[in-house]
């Protein structure tokens, strides 16, 4: 009960968000922000050229993103501060402005979701935008602001694809997951352990293509074989200028972070995927055209982005952290997961989304993984107008046009919201802990929110968490235990 009271008082002071009812209450209540001291945003962008380059070197080389944001938060003793983020000087085709206002606590972060005060036009990965050649010269959904009519058309299309394909999604997830586990078991039998990344990416690519495009990649063996690696390259070329690799400095700075890469390097494989969808994804493309008013090419390019960048990219980052968290656990978590799964499921039927709804611990482990390692670390939004931004302890003036940069890994370790924020606590979201879902932001919105055409929350929000729960439940139907970590499965013990 004490916890619930504490949670409520914390919620009442969170700033506006369109989707959480508790948050909306704080709008009608006298604003607690008015009692907070007004503060000038600390930090600076430094001298032109020198400031951005120095910050860029810290970000990619000397510190890495986590220490970069953490050290500045500590230096300014503030969770809102000015800094620069990559990319910067020298060879970008249009001037990219690296100046941002970083927000790294839950309360200031949540301003990024309020579409009244921020806009999200072309800021998916910051002020830098990869060439639209990567997406057939189209600005796809994720780059559109909610004020652009095309955003509503494309967002509804994405939500519709998921809804219509949900049965196929569950069946394909099940079939391809077990293929992945079979392949990993066979590697363990041969080599003693399995680096599961290639098998996992085949699983993700096959089940997503079958469910989102409505066509099994197996009908085109070349695509089935090269699809995952082609998508990896296509995504990587778009985001290289902002992607920390931290392996081969200073070559990384000179060759990978100094200029954008041309689409020509992947145009052939992109065209093959386009042709595959045009040929075999007729039904979904037709709906895009007839029901959502898109042109055929708009529908296909957006489908490729949703499939390759949003879904394949997102799952390829998220699922390894889920497997690693569970397989490396030494606290007895697996026995508890196994018990819950077997108590609440019938091993003779294929599990569906409904089967995992009541698996509290399974779901909590999924949420905690998303809190502990948010798959998309950075979210950006530009001030639509002048407004007041509130952190837990201060109020700041934001000017129209300024770019806010939310660093999720720190916001998700906000000690004002999460107890023992630096610990992975599998039960964190069980029972009363469910209230904390208001503060789980991996999808660019609270986990209690609903993606719609009037916000920029991930269209796949619920599919992602339910699918991850389904995967865990299937694993613990099949195995008594699974050992591994850091991208490897080293042993499995079959269910007795």
Task: Decide if 119 contacts 384 (C-beta within 8 A).
Answer: yes
Residue in the structure block whose two tokens are 């998508």:
231
Cα 155 from Cα 458, distance rounded (Å): 9
CB 382 to ligand HEM: min, Å: 12
Residues that bind ligand HEM (CB under 6 A): 120, 124, 141-142, 155, 158, 162, 306, 310-311, 314-315, 318, 375-376, 379, 442-444, 456, 458-460, 463-464
Q: Which is nearer to ligand HEM, 234 or 318 (CB)?
A: 318
Cβ proximity to ligand HEM: between 53 and 377 the closer is: 377
Closest approach of ligand HEM to the CB of residue 166, in Å: 11
Residue 81 or residue 442: which is nearer to ligand HEM going by CB? 442
Q: Which C-beta is closer to ligand HEM: that of 51 or that of 445?
A: 445
Nearest distance, CB of residue 123 and ligand HEM, angstroms: 8
Query: Which CB sits closer to ligand HEM, 181 or 381?
Result: 381
**Residue 34 CB, nearest approach to ligand HEM (Å):** 30
Peptide bond into 396 cis (omega under 30): no
CB of 309 to ligand HEM, least distance (A): 9
Nearer to ligand HEM, 26 or 444 (CB): 444
- In whole angstroms, how close is the CB of 312 to ligand HEM at the nearest point? 9
C-beta of 315 vs 372, nearer to ligand HEM: 315
Q: Which is nearer to ligand HEM, 391 or 443 (CB)?
A: 443
Closest separation in Å from C-beta 282 to ligand HEM: 19
Q: Is 405 annotated as a binding residue?
A: no
Smallest distance, ligand HEM to C-beta of residue 211, A: 9
From residue 118, give the alpha-carbon distance in Å to each of 80, 109, 390, 398: 16, 12, 14, 11
Q: Which residues are annotated as a binding site?
A: 458
Q: Which residues are annotated as a binding site for heme?
A: 458
């Amino acid at each position: 009960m004490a916890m619930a009271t504490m949670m409520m008082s914390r919620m009442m002071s969170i700033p506006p968000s369109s989707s959480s009812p508790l948050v909306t209450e704080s709008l009608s209540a006298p604003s607690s922000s008015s009692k907070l001291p007004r503060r000038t945003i600390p930090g600076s962008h430094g001298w032109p050229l020198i400031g951005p380059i120095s910050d860029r070197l810290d970000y990619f080389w000397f510190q890495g993103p986590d220490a970069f944001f953490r050290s500045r938060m500590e230096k300014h003793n503030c969770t809102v501060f000015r800094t620069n983020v990559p990319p910067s000087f020298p060879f970008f085709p249009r001037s990219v402005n690296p100046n941002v206002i970083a927000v790294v606590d839950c309360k200031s972060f949540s301003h990024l979701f309020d579409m009244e005060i921020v806009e999200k036009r072309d800021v998916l990965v910051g002020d830098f935008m990869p060439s639209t050649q990567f997406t057939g010269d189209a600005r796809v959904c994720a780059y559109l602001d909610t004020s652009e009519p095309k955003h509503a058309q494309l967002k509804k299309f994405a939500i519709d694809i998921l809804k219509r394909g949900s049965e196929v999604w569950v069946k394909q997830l099940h079939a391809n997951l077990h293929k992945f586990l079979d392949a990993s078991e066979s590697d363990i039998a041969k080599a003693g352990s399995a680096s599961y990344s290639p098998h996992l990416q085949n699983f993700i690519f096959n089940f997503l293509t079958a469910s989102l495009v409505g066509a099994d990649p197996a009908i085109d063996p070349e695509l089935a074989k090269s699809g995952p690696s082609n998508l990896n390259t296509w995504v990587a070329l778009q985001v290289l200028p902002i992607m920390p690799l931290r392996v081969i400095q200073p070559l990384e700075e000179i060759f990978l972070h100094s200029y954008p890469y041309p689409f020509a390097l992947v145009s052939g494989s992109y065209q093959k995927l386009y042709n595959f969808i045009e040929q075999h994804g007729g039904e979904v493309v037709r709906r895009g055209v007839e029901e959502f008013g898109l042109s055929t090419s708009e529908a296909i390019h957006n489908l490729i982005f949703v499939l390759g960048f949003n879904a394949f990219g997102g799952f390829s980052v998220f699922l390894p952290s889920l497997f690693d968290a569970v397989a490396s656990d030494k606290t007895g978590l697996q026995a508890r997961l196994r018990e819950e799964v077997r108590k609440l499921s019938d091993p003779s039927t294929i599990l569906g989304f409904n089967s995992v709804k009541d698996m509290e611990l399974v779901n909590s482990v999924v949420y905690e993984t998303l809190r502990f390692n948010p798959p998309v670390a950075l979210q950006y939004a530009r001030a639509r107008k002048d407004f007041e931004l509130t952190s837990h302890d201060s109020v700041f003036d934001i000017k129209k046009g300024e770019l806010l940069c939310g660093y999720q890994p720190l916001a998700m370790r906000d000690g004002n919201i999460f107890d023992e924020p630096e610990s992975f606590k599998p039960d964190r979201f069980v029972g009363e802990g469910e209230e904390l879902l208001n503060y789980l932001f991996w999808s660019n919105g609270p986990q209690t929110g609903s993606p719609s055409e009037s916000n920029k929350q991930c269209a796949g929000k619920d599919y992602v968490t339910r699918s991850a729960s389904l995967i865990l439940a299937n694993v613990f139907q099949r195995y008594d235990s699974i050992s591994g970590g850091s991208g490897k499965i080293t042993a499995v013990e079959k269910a007795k």
